[in-house]
Structure 1
Amino acid sequence: MNKSKVCIMLSTYNGVKYIDEQMESLLAQHEVDVQINIRDDGSSDGTVQKLNEYAKSHPGQIRVFEGENLGVIGSFFELMRLTEAVYDFYAFCDQDDVWKPDKLSRAVTKLQLSQSNVPLMYCSSTQMVDQDLNNLNVWPTLPPKRLSMYNAMVENCCVGCTMVLNPIAFERIRGSVPIDLKPLIMHDRWIYLYVSAFGEVIFDEEPMILYRQHQGNVLGGSSEGWLMKWKNRMKRFFSEGSFRLSKQASLFLETYCEHLSAQQQREIRHFLKQLDSSWVKRISYASKMPFYRQASLDNLVLKLIYIFKKV
């Protein structure tokens, strides 16, 4: 039986410190044929030199593209453009994590169990670790609510570096990347939004990568009390909001309007239109809107930032 061919798309930027651990974990993937396409986003350390050494020692299996600094969103979409549509599956990858050896084979198995004629995306929980790979938390946990467009419009439940796409999802997203990326919050949020609207998202609660958390970046890994959690959620969501959710929703509607169902179009337009209505109407809409976050506390904050027109 032929092994599935999986293209790993890795974007790097000044990542020389941890790139060896990540590259070795990618090359050690079991039961799949791996191609690694790497785009360096203008590194100024020794990242490119290190990557070229890997490419030289693995001719044909590793390709390195050097480019100008586009930022993480632009770099990943450019990497999709540079990747040929000839593989069975396509995986996104960060530079400083470590993958378990069966990460891709497990993703492929789960994707093959679903219908192949619609956009599909696999994602998983992660084992969060510190800089020395000591375990912290498992995050995110299995979402309690459905992974639908109505969740993806206002929240991302899928960590980008765990995502694996089938060919339909890859080719359709790659072929419709907006020219102006500024309204996008992050590339993985846009991809989750697309697949949840037009296909199926498969969430694996088994952590398949070691997700390194750097100092000052312990999302999901802290043990703060409820008061601090509330304070941090409010701060994060008001910061994340600031019209970014509505701008991304507007761009998504503009980009895919003709492909969305009549109900999907109607719900997105209503979400955007009610932001310009009165306080009373915003409160009324927020209380019964179809868009939701997974956690009850997060869902309450969503309603508040909508009422305050901060989405």
Structure 2
Amino acid sequence: MSRYPKVTILLAARNGAEFIREQLESFRAQTYSNWELVVSDDGSTDDTLALVEEFAKSVSQRVIILRGPQKGFWQNFVSLVRSPEVSGDLLGYSDQDDVWFAHKLADAVDWFEQISKDQPALFCTRTQLVSRQGVPIGFSRTFKRAPAFANALVQNLGGGNTMIFNKAARLALQKTPPEALMVAHDWWTYQVISGVGGIVHYDPRPSLAYRQHGENVFGKNVGIQARLTRALGLASGQMAQWNEINMKLLNQIRGELRSDNLAILDLFSRARTAWLPMRLWLLWRSGVYRQTAMENFALNFAAIFGRI
């Protein structure tokens, strides 16, 4: 890869006028300046587009505005991954209401210097949590177990707003059929890139301020309330519904998956429908895991009741 790769920022927007100016200014403040911005607007009725256009006139970097599919948040991001207007060596998802730290792009570019351009790779980080007003209120969880497809099957490691990936990873993502359904663009990104044998790196250093407010599609993933939410999700069968969607998507790209990961996928698939105790044995053989002992206990508990 070039020592000075171009980074394309993929910003999915919809009625983001309240916060988007601050996010745009954080792009301007990046210590790494070789970036371009592609905004997919999903039918905003406020001043979002006007603010982006104003910003575009004030920076030397290329800024493009596209019309989004208007089908939902993940469809908007996926449309950006497929867009012919995207030309960067590296690509990074952006929400409209965060604030990137000045070192965000530089950190990612430094890491990608050691990665072959032909090797699919994904960089993601921890986040600092802030209130609606931008006041720091803590940090997202720190993940300590290694990223892998066996983890990606049952848990998303990095928030999409922190993710940066290379052209080879983008090509792998584009193998997903356009009609495929998914739970979220970031979970899809982690699953596909790890599934094809790509390198996934999680950096515990926060790269942005993640704003917490009522309009977040997914909020913070820390604390007792978040743990209870995850447990209730397993108990209610929500995780099983998400897994069903993910399994269908991954089976549509079976030919792209590395053989060892395909074996994990098939064992996990059999575990989801097998009778006890075979269900637990197949789950164990698959090697799938979440990041903490408590979460793995909950995963096995859910499996007992056929909730995976």
Shift of 1:288: 4.9
The amino acid of 1:266's aligned partner reads: A
Q: Which runs of 4+ in 1 moved over 6 A?
A: none
Indicate conservation of the 8 Å contact 2:268/2:283, yes or no: no
How large is the Cα RMSD of the aligned pairs?
A: 2.2
Query: 2:155 and 2:46 mapped to 1: Cα distance?
Result: 34
The 5 A counterparts of 1:142-161 are 143-161=143-161
User: What does residue 193 of structure 2 align with?
Assistant: 195
The aligned counterpart of 1:242 is 240
Q: 1:88 to 1:284 in 2, by over 3 A?
A: closer
The one-letter amino acid of 1:86's match is: S
Alignment correspondent of 2:102: 101
Instruction: Give the secondary-structure state (helix, strand or coil) at the position aligned to 2:183.
Output: coil
Deviates more, 1:95-104 or 1:81-90: 81-90
Question: Conserved in 1, the CA contact under 8 Å of 2:78 and 2:185?
Answer: yes
Provide the C-alpha distance between the structure 2 equivalents of 1:292 and 1:240, rounded to a whole number of angstroms. Answer: 18
Gaps of 5+ in 1: none
Determine if the alignment matches structure 1 residue 254 to structure 2 residue 255.
no
Contact kept, 8 Å, 1:85 with 1:171, in 2: the verdict is no
Give the distance between the partners of 1:138 and 1:231, measured in 2 at CA: 18
Residues 158 and 242 of structure 1, relative CA distance in 2, 3 Å threshold? same
Deviation at 1:114, TM superposition (A): 2.9
1:70-97 C-alpha deviation (Å, 9 max, x unpaired): 2111101111222445322111100000
Tell me the matched-pair count.
303
SS of the counterpart of 1:32?
coil
What secondary structure sits across from 1:165 in the alignment? strand
TM-score using structure 1 length:
0.89
Within 5 Å, which residues of 2 pair with 1:1-311? 3-58=4-59, 61-84=62-85, 86-141=87-142, 143-173=143-173, 175-182=174-181, 184-197=182-195, 198-215=197-214, 218-222=219-223, 224=224, 231-237=228-234, 238=236, 240-255=238-253, 257-311=254-308
- Counterparts in 2 of 1:261 and 1:19: CA distance versus 1, 3 Å: closer
* In 2, Cα distance between equivalents of 1:221 and 1:271: 27
Query: Quick one: which amino acid aligns to residue 293 of structure 2?
Result: S
Secondary structure of the equivalent of 1:140?
Answer: coil
Deviation string 1:177-228 (CA, Å, 9 cap, x unpaired) is 323333x110100111112122101111111101111148652354x3xxx6
Percent identity reads 27
Deviates more, 1:29-38 or 1:14-23: 29-38
Give the whole-Å Cα distance in 1 for the aligned partners of 2:113 and 2:203: 14
Q: Distance in 1 between matches of 2:246 and 2:265?
A: 11
Amino acid of the residue matched to residue 4 of structure 2?
A: K
Find the residue that maps to 1:161 and give its secondary structure. Answer: helix
Closer, same or farther: CA 116–24 of 1 in aligned 2, 3 Å: same
Decide which moves more: 258-267 or 150-159.
Answer: 258-267
1:44: Cα distance to partner? 2.0
